[in-house]
């Protein structure tokens, strides 16, 4: 998936269909002059329905079409015939999509399961025909109910990536490189900060044809929780990952300090994120010789509060062990 095709935030306008009018028809037939009321009910207006689709990874479908309108219900007819219901409109979204009210920014619901359907705009009820209103004192009512109007709503669709493993790190820590090596994903890679501006997803193949999904989340900077840089835009994608893999380069001035800053940003954004399993990968470790690695290991064993591992995406060192560890964490 190219970066331009990854759309995770769209504003849309949806409107359901109006209900059809009830009929005020009076029955007329040869030799029956006053057959009484036989007007049918109007049909229901079409709903606008949001449906989960596990084959979708992005809201790209809604990049160009922003208005969705369901069909109106048809009017009732004679002989108590009910009008046809308006055509429903289905909007397929990837799993992990939040639906918000654009005016209040409140979450209306979220879609997390394949095939899950939620009505976002309910079609108006059809009006009742005049035969409903016949009484002993009013045998020929010449009125029927009009249909109820449909609903109109401005909404926001916001995607929070659903992945098994989320890569967390500062810009240029080697997240995109790791994803490109362990999966078939082709993220943009360059030697400058903020190369990645949208999350990239990759399917990581494990032993015996097993797989798990890894997400390369754009780099976090200090102050991201307050919205500095593209803070909230990045951080919301981490909320749905099962395991957080912190990627810290071996040439960092202070590995423990970098880990603490990253953890603090996550905590300030959403403290619940800290309940997730965490693991640290020391990237770019091919730059270290055995002596330097031994010195660094002795220091990290004392200072780091979680398990860690030395890896190199370029030299493909430690990647099999990393996948083993991640698989174990996902399935414990």
pLDDT value, residue 233: 55
The reply to whether the predicted model has a pTM over 0.75 is no
Higher pLDDT, 152 or 186: 152
Average of per-residue pLDDT across 126-133: 91
Detail the residues annotated as belonging to a binding site for GTP: 169-176, 194-198, 216-219, 283-286, 312-314
Q: Where in the chain is the domain with CATH 2.70.210.12?
A: 1-159
| CATH fold label, 1-159 | Spo0b-associated Gtp-binding Protein; Chain: A, (2.70.210)
CB atoms within 10 A of CB 282: 25
Q: Residue 294 burial (CB < 10 Å; 0-12/13-18/19+)?
A: exposed
Phi then psi dihedrals of residue 88, to 5 deg = -75, 150
Pair of tokens at residue 220: 């976090």
Detail the residues annotated as belonging to a binding site: 169-176, 194-198, 216-219, 283-286, 312-314
Q: Span 165-331: which CATH code?
A: 3.40.50.300
Higher pLDDT, 159 or 161: 159
Q: What is the pLDDT of residues 221-239, one digit of tens each?
A: 554 444 444 445 556 667 7
Residue with tokens 């640290």: 280
Residues in the chain: 332
Distance of CA 308 to the CA centre of its chain: 31
Average of per-residue pLDDT across 256-273: 85
Pairwise CA distance, residues 57 & 48, whole Å: 21
Phi then psi dihedrals of residue 100, to 5 deg = -115, 150
pLDDT value, residue 154: 96
Sheet holding 67-69, edge to edge: 67-69, 9-15, 152-159, 97-101, 107-111
Q: Is the predicted pLDDT of residue 42 greater than 60, yes or no? A: yes
Detail the residues annotated as belonging to a binding site for Mg(2+): 176, 196
Q: Where in the chain is the domain with CATH 3.40.50.300?
A: 165-331
């Amino acid at each position: 998936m190219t970066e331009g095709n990854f759309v995770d935030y769209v504003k849309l306008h949806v409107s359901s269909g109006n209900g059809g009018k009830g009929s005020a028809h009076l029955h007329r037939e040869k030799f029956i002059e006053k057959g009484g009321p036989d007007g049918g009910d109007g049909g229901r207006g079409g709903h606008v329905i949001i449906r989960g689709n596990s084959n979708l990874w992005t809201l790209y479908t809604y990049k160009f079409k922003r208005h969705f309108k369901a069909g109106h219900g048809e009017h009732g007819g004679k002989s108590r015939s009910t009008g046809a219901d308006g055509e429903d409109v289905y909007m397929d979204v990837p799993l992990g999509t939040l639906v918000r009210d654009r005016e209040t920014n409140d979450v209306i619901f979220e879609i997390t399961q394949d095939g899950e359907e939620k009505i976002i705009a309910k079609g108006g009820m059809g009006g009742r025909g005049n035969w409903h209103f016949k009484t002993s004192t009013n045998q020929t009512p010449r009125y029927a109910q009009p249909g109820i109007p449909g609903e109109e709503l401005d909404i926001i669709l916001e995607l929070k990536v659903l992945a098994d493993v989320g890569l967390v790190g500062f810009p240029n820590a080697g997240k995109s490189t790791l994803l490109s090596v362990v999966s078939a994903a082709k993220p943009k890679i360059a030697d400058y900060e903020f190369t990645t501006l949208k999350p990239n997803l990759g399917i990581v193949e494990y032993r015996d044809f097993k797989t798990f999904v890894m997400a390369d989340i754009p780099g976090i900077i200090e102050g991201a929780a307050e919205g500095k840089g593209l803070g909230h835009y990045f951080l919301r994608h981490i909320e749905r990952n099962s395991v957080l893999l912190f990627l810290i380069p071996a040439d960092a001035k202070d590995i423990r300090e970098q880990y603490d800053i990253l953890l603090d940003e996550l905590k300030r954004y959403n403290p619940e994120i800290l309940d997730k399993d965490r693991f640290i990968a020391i990237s770019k470790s091919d730059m270290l010789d055995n002596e330097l690695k031994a010195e660094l290991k002795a220091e990290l064993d004392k200072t780091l509060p979680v398990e860690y591992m030395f890896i190199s995406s370029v030299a493909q060192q430690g990647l099999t062990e990393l996948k083993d560890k991640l698989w174990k964490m996902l399935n414990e």
